[in-house]
Chains A and B, each alone.
Chain A
């Protein structure tokens, strides 16, 4: 694979977006650096892009040899928006690779396959632009561990929406997986919601621009991560739905849409009464990076 990568003159960057991931980031950095930089030189760069962790994430990642960037320090004049999508977007500016691999930082059973499994289709098949991970159910099931594959938000929200509006995208087994590898030429041309909707919007935009043929999927076996509370999944669903509706409107699939509120209302029980909690979930979007003058200058684009 490395021979083929070198033959094609490709460079590959790994981006790990973080926010308070001190428990898992060290292992990811050590494994990827040792196995995929030192032992097998598949990766040219490992970068952690942090949203402002208050734990030891930055210290741990740096101590094990990752390049660590604060999201707020990248393109500072464009401001800082809190959200994973912001880090992924800024990685396009900061990192050098022709291919960027995104791997979440909260994976307990991290393994080099999370990277080599994703980049292989891009190395061997020039027509592939975007490679998405999917997983089997983890063997170790406990109160803390749940399968990422076919997760609740995927099955209850995203898959029904794709079935209704983009049937071909239902071929993507795990549309919300946080692990994917993409060619720069694609990444720089798509907008990035900064929050929960980033993966969903990617799929719609890449499908719209390059067709279903641009996608490949890799079976990464198992992914074990922290279980998320149902209330948090509600927030995620809200963000995804807002992004999705916005895409439907911008593509003319639906025409009339009222102004969408950024407020999600949930209830929680306290002693003998219920109280309402209001979350403000703003799904802002970053423009395609290729429209940013600093990026064009940095990459020498006319």
Chain B
């Protein structure tokens, strides 16, 4: 029997199983929603996720999972043992949200949606991790591979995926493949990472000697950044995302700050442009006699799975079987940590939602079990050996 035929037969079995899952999973709806609320109402700004991770860990313990632990970076992990346990699939979700602890984190549960800060990014994702062991046990699904569940800390923005990177570079067991879970959007199928650099430029003018406004300097920096050639063949882009400065309209600003992202399909292009930014800053700090600091706050590497990789093709089939239209954007920065560690990885979303990263972030309830079904379908597919390579 040819390898392709075996794969086709495997897939037929998986597809039959996956098709029934959304209906079968409905009985876990309240359990999942309760976990979403309990985890989501614990504030977890980046670098302060401990309390949320402790509850996740408590959930893992309640499910009787193996090796429940919190590592030195604060990641919470546990293992659902497989029947053979000779391979390991990592299922991870980031625990942090972009909201400060001082914000009211109360969530509102309506019949068809949940509203509140961080619900989509990524309280739902972390709640899926907390609930999946109970779901798999109740459905009688046991993989031959171990499933390593991991709530990652220090992921967003300046966190620069510190928790995940630490975990992957210190993992004691080889990881066959990884799935990253995000609350939204259902249908996303990210398996590649672009090269990128998140940068912060901070300008401080000493107004005791000169009436120079830090905003004027920053304006010059922006002008010069926009003059830098961005190679189109590598789809290089510069996004100016955030700016702040000054305290009042009456006096020259003493401080100003810019945050930006540079992205490209080439790691070398990022390196080259970073050098150019360095030299712009050097020149302008001399010209204006002000202090300008350039800090790199996040980095990702170019790479990931090929669109023809079995895992990608199988993922598309799983989504299609469930009536989910796979999105066309293959890229997400989430994949970078896995690229660096040469682990085949994919990122999927669980449901639909809107107002992402605003306090009135919202998710739809009814598609959630379809999203969980896709996740189980992918686990079954990876367990069935679809990480082997290209078609």
Contacts and interface: CB of A to CB of B under 8 A. Distances in A.
Interface stretch (A27-35, A164-172, A266-274): A27-35
A179 to B, nearest CB: 17
Looking at chain A, what size class is its interface with the partner chain?
A: 20 to 34
A59 B37 CA distance: 20
A24 B106 CA distance: 10
A57 to B, nearest CB: 11
Interface stretch (A60-68, A155-163, A200-208): A60-68
B287 interface: no
B112 to A, nearest CB: 9
A33 B106 CA distance: 19
Contact of B30 (A65, A108, A111): A65
Contacts of B37: 27, 30-31
B110 interface: yes
A250 interface: no
B38 A111 contact: yes
Contact of B34 (A24, A35, A59): A35
A35 B41 CA distance: 15
A56 B34 contact: no
A73 to B, nearest CB: 23
A24 B34 CA distance: 13
Nearest to A224: B106
Contacts of A142: 104
Nearest to B106: A108
A109 interface: yes
A29 to B, nearest CB: 8
Q: Most chain-A Cβ atoms within 10 A of its Cβ — which of B41, B103, B105?
A: B41
A30 B34 contact: yes
B104 A23 contact: no
Contacts of A275: none
A172 to B, nearest CB: 27
B108 A27 contact: yes
Interface in B125-180: none
A248 interface: no
A33 B166 CA distance: 38
A212 interface: no
A140 interface: yes
B109 interface: yes
A85 interface: no
A178 B190 CA distance: 49
A64 B30 contact: yes
A60 B31 CA distance: 16
B107 A34 contact: no
A111 B105 CA distance: 13
B30 A27 contact: no
B14 to A, nearest CB: 29
Contacts of A38: 30-31
A33 B29 CA distance: 11
B276 to A, nearest CB: 46
B111 A34 contact: no
Given A30-B33, A111-B38, 11 more contacts: A24-B108, A27-B107, A34-B33, A34-B35, A38-B30, A38-B31, A39-B62, A59-B111, A140-B102, A224-B104, A224-B106
24 contacts: A22-B110, A23-B110, A24-B108, A26-B109, A27-B37, A27-B108, A30-B30, A31-B34, A31-B37, A31-B38, A34-B31, A34-B34, A59-B111, A64-B30, A64-B33, A65-B30, A109-B41, A111-B38, A139-B102, A140-B102, A140-B105, A140-B106, A145-B104, A224-B104
Interface of A: 22-24, 26-27, 30-31, 33-35, 38-39, 56, 59-60, 63-65, 108-109, 111, 139-140, 142, 145, 224
